[in-house]
Amino acid sequence: MELRRKSVFLLFMFLFLVSCSVSKSKQGNGKIIKGNYEISKTKQTHSGKAQIVCTVYDKRGQNPIPDAVVEINELKLGGETSDEGTFSIDIPPGKYTVTAMNVANTKLTTNIFTINPGDIIHIKFELGTTIIYNK
């Protein structure tokens, strides 16, 4: 009897998974446009502070994204980009990752990088789209 219950359960799970994959394939030919980022470093000569300057763009049209959220993950600090898509913050030297996210919840996080006293880290985010469905 126990073997029969397991067989019925496995059959049910198989059918469920098949139906899920069929229903997703009927939604259309969706594709994800991935984002990317570039990090460059410059050195301030007169200050020991460190700074992160981010600019967030739309990957498709290269338009600045206002009100995108930028967070320095390890410090739990951040804010929103300006109308020009920029955000900057002074931080203590250390090792950090930075995440940018737009209103559509498209999120991109950098790899960990080190920022030293006097460094200015410039990060250019190009956020993609979550899913675009062809009609």
Which positions ≥6 away from 127 have C-beta within 8 Å? 35, 56, 57, 58, 59, 65, 68, 100, 101, 102, 106, 108
Residue 92 predicted with pLDDT over 80: yes
Q: Which CATH architecture has domain 30-133?
A: Sandwich (2.60)
Question: Rounded to two decimals, what is the model's pTM?
Answer: 0.69
Residue 83 predicted with pLDDT over 70: yes
Average pLDDT, the chain: 79
pLDDT 10s digits, 38-58: 998 887 756 678 999 999 999
* Domain parsing of the chain, residue ranges: 30-133
* pLDDT given for residue 98 in this prediction: 97
